């Protein structure tokens, strides 16, 4: 039996999210006077968000119940939660006057309050699915255009496809009625039982209207972005998060790749901000022999808990490389740290984020929740990779930008010159190789960030979804000529004519961009345009297969396992 956690513990993405803006807006309303004035003001102004929970010291192996208290009691209950469950000893009285989120943020950067909507979205993302139609869309010239259909979803079963234009909903005109994304989201997330009737124009025949009946149902969210053979007998699997279904998804992808002749593997954890602790240990178990310590956790109120590998691993002997970067965090670092400490994999990329704190989620009856840090985790060699937050939240959040300013993302030498890594380290891998603590996982093979392109320009094009819009508007006839994705990925190239047409299409965004920056970014823009076209018709695997075609990090990882 695979060992399960005795806690309902989760690891969440530490990178700055939309929650930050939410709390900054609240903070503006809170007057910084005496603690007693703040306390009374907080109870009035933030009546809707103050919360609390009563924690008993019973067995926590079961899901924690949802509690309901009078709102006036919420602050004191949160303080009890901190007093009896927080990872370190805390002078609760000194922070009594803070609002709930400000209170939690005074503890560490990852203890936070989630309003109901955000709590639901976070949990759905990690639970591996939701109830809905299974549609991704783009609002283009007041028209609702479908860009992706989730496999096995109600939309897929109904026969809808990417590129479909929805012109009527429930037999009423929809296109050209002043649509907003908020309005479409409300429509798609409306009734969980009542069907929706879409009248659509499908790609290849935008003259004939067809009607589809869609009833909300289960929609699976895979945590695997891509899985394919990247080189002779070398497989590639990219994991975007550690959700409840990740281990099962991984096993299926691994089995498929083995059928195709895979004997070695590159696991891509770049950009993976974390997820469930149990999932991280389960995935580590796939690569490690029985009895190996994967990770352990402990805190002031949490006794040490060890997580060991079992004998059920599906890839315990093949050569393995793991790709990480500065956005790989939490559960990603648990996995990479264990494989590095036990000399099971070669770690390739850039230093990871540095999040070694364990959050437990405490839900409330209104759908909101508190994510409270209850422990720290330690890799098999005993190191904590949590970076310092002693200089405050803002400094912590700006740490990645500071790495860039110092040149760490671009130079291996600069990377190692950080004060964290120049002092003596007591930590060693199983074969005696020195490893570091206190600031993320340092890779075995360093890969600098690409400086040849104008990342601001490219990011702006991505944020404005210009690539998707161009594919919808200009590339669908071309895509119809390709039957198989492999044929498209192998043979299609963005020509100078197509590139010029794309620049004209994106015109307003480029008016203030220097011509040289556009020229420097041409290869990446061309790759992204091709990748978005591949994703539009064939899905994520072919998006990443295209993106990775000239990826230096992947090439180094492939070389490492040959």
Average pLDDT over residues 325-332: 96
Confidence of residue 96 (pLDDT cuts 50, 70, 90): very low
> Are residue 257 and residue 313 in the same domain, yes or no?
yes
Give a yes or no: residue 365 inside a domain: no
36 pLDDT more than 50: no
Confidence of residue 422 (pLDDT cuts 50, 70, 90): low
Give a yes or no: residue 119 inside a domain: no
Give the three-state DSSP class for 263. Answer: coil
Confidence of residue 98 (pLDDT cuts 50, 70, 90): low
Residue with tokens 């969440």: 12
Per-residue pLDDT tens over the stretch 99-154: 677 888 889 999 988 888 888 888 888 888 888 899 999 999 999 999 999 999 99
pLDDT (0 to 100) of residue 532? 96
Average pLDDT over residues 443-463: 88
Structure token pair of residue 297: 């956790």
pLDDT (0 to 100) of residue 420? 64
Determine which of 37-46, 84-93, 258-267, 395-404 has the lowest per-residue pLDDT on average. Answer: 37-46
> Are residue 342 and residue 249 in the same domain, yes or no?
yes
Determine which of 175-179, 420-424, 466-470 has the lowest per-residue pLDDT on average. Answer: 420-424
pLDDT (0 to 100) of residue 81? 85
67 pLDDT more than 60: no
> Are residue 152 and residue 191 in the same domain, yes or no?
yes
pLDDT (0 to 100) of residue 299? 95
**What residues contact residue 387 under an 8 Å CB cut-off, 6+ apart?**
353, 354, 355, 396, 399, 438, 439, 440
Give a yes or no: residue 364 inside a domain: no
Question: Which element (helix H / strand E) includes 529?
Answer: helix 515-538
Nearest to 374 by CA among 8, 65, 3, 4: 8
> Are residue 277 and residue 190 in the same domain, yes or no?
no
**CA terminus-to-terminus distance, the chain:** 33
Contact 433, 341 (CB under 8 A): no
Structure token pair of residue 390: 């002693």
251 pLDDT more than 90: yes
> Are residue 468 and residue 500 in the same domain, yes or no?
yes
Average pLDDT over residues 377-384: 97
Confidence of residue 90 (pLDDT cuts 50, 70, 90): confident
Backbone angles phi and psi of 356, in degrees to 5: -120, 25
**What residues contact residue 138 under an 8 Å CB cut-off, 6+ apart?**
145, 147, 465, 468, 469, 472
> Domain range holding 97?
9-113
> Are residue 278 and residue 207 in the same domain, yes or no?
no
Domain boundary among 174, 189, 220: 220
Give a yes or no: residue 432 inside a domain: yes
456 pLDDT more than 70: yes
Mean pLDDT of the chain: 84
Q: Tell me, what CATH number does 284's domain have? A: 3.90.226.10
Average pLDDT over residues 258-272: 97
> Which residue has better confidence, 92 or 275?
275
> Are residue 442 and residue 481 in the same domain, yes or no?
no
Give a yes or no: residue 107 inside a domain: yes
Q: What is the pTM of this model?
A: 0.82
* pLDDT > 70 fraction of the chain, expressed in percent and rounded: 84
Average pLDDT over residues 358-383: 93
pLDDT (0 to 100) of residue 303? 95
561 pLDDT more than 50: yes
**What residues contact residue 232 under an 8 Å CB cut-off, 6+ apart?**
none
Contact 366, 47 (CB under 8 A): no
> Are residue 216 and residue 231 in the same domain, yes or no?
no
Per-residue pLDDT tens over the stretch 278-297: 999 999 999 999 999 999 99
- Beta strands 320-324 and 346-349 are parallel
Give a yes or no: residue 534 inside a domain: yes
Give a yes or no: residue 368 inside a domain: no
Average pLDDT over residues 226-233: 96
Decide: residue 418, CB within 10 A, 0-12 exposed, 13-18 middle, 19+ buried. Answer: middle
> Are residue 479 and residue 547 in the same domain, yes or no?
yes
Nearest to 526 by CA among 554, 562, 500: 500
> Are residue 545 and residue 400 in the same domain, yes or no?
no
Contact 521, 457 (CB under 8 A): yes
> Are residue 216 and residue 87 in the same domain, yes or no?
no
Per-residue pLDDT tens over the stretch 402-421: 998 888 888 877 766 666 66
Nearest to 99 by CA among 144, 137, 52: 52
21 pLDDT more than 90: no
Domain boundary among 220, 236, 269: 220
Strand ranges for 133-233 from DSSP E: 135-140, 143-149, 165-169, 172-173, 196-202, 205-214, 217-220, 224-231
Structure token pair of residue 60: 């926590």
Q: Number of folded domains in the chain? A: 4
Domain boundary among 205, 220, 235: 220
Give a yes or no: residue 91 inside a domain: yes
pLDDT (0 to 100) of residue 51? 34
> Are residue 39 and residue 176 in the same domain, yes or no?
no
pLDDT (0 to 100) of residue 204? 77
Q: Tell me, what CATH number does 177's domain have? A: 2.30.42.10
């Amino acid at each position: 039996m695979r060992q399960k956690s005795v806690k309902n513990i989760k690891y969440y993405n530490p990178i700055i999210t939309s929650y930050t803006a939410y709390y900054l807006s609240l903070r503006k309303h809170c007057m910084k006077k005496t603690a007693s004035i703040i306390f009374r003001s907080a109870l009035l102004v933030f009546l809707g968000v103050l919360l609390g929970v009563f924690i008993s010291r019973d067995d926590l192996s079961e899901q924690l119940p949802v509690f309901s208290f009078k709102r006036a009691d919420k602050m004191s209950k949160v303080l009890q939660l901190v007093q009896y469950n927080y990872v370190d000893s805390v002078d609760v009285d000194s922070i009594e006057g803070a609002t709930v989120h400000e209170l939690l943020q005074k503890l560490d950067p990852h203890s936070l309050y989630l309003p109901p909507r955000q709590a639901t979205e976070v949990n759905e993302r990690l639970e591996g699915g939701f109830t809905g139609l299974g549609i991704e869309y783009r609002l283009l010239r007041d028209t609702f255009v479908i860009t992706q259909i989730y496999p096995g979803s109600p939309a897929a079963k109904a026969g809808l496809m990417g590129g479909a234009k929805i012109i009527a909903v429930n037999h009423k005109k929809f296109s050209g009625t002043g649509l907003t994304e908020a309005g479409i989201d409300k429509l798609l997330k409306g009734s969980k039982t009542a069907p929706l009737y879409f009248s659509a124009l499908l790609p290849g025949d935008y003259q004939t209207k067809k009607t589809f009946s869609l009833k909300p149902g289960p929609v699976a969210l895979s945590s695997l972005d891509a899985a394919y053979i990247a080189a002779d007998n070398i497989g590639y699997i990219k994991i975007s998060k550690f959700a409840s279904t990740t281990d099962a998804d991984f096993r299926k992808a691994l089995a498929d790749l083995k059928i195709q002749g895979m004997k070695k593997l590159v696991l891509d954890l770049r950009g993976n901000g974390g997820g469930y602790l149990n999932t991280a240990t389960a995935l580590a178990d796939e690569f490690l022999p029985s009895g190996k310590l994967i990770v352990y956790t402990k805190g002031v109120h949490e006794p040490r808990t060890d997580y060991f590998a079992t004998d059920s691993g599906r890839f315990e002997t093949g050569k393995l490389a793991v790709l990480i970067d500065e956005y790989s965090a939490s559960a990603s670092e648990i996995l990479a740290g264990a494989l590095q400490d036990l000399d099971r994999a070669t770690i390739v990329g850039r230093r990871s984020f540095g999040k070694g704190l364990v959050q437990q989620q405490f839900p409330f009856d209104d759908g909101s929740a508190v994510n409270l840090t209850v422990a720290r985790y330690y890799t098999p060699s005993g190191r904590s990779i949590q970076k310092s937050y002693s200089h405050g939240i803002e400094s912590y959040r700006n740490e990645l930008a500071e790495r860039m300013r110092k040149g760490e993302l671009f130079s291996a030498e600069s990377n190692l010159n950080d004060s964290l890594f120049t002092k003596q380290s007591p930590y060693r891998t199983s074969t005696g190789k020195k490893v570091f603590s206190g600031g993320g996982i340092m890779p075995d093979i360093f890969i600098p960030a690409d400086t040849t392109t104008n990342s601001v320009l490219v990011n702006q094009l991505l944020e404005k979804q210009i690539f998707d819009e161009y594919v919808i508007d200009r590339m669908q006839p071309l895509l119809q000529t390709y039957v198989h994705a492999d044929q498209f990925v192998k043979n299609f190239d963005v020509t100078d004519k197509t590139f010029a047409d794309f620049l004209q299409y994106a015109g307003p965004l480029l008016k203030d961009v220097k011509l040289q920056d556009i020229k420097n970014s041409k290869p990446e823009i061309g790759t992204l345009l091709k990748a978005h076209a591949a994703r539009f018709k064939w899905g994520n695997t072919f998006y990443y297969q295209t993106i990775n075609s000239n990826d230096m990090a992947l090439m180094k990882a492939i070389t490492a396992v040959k």
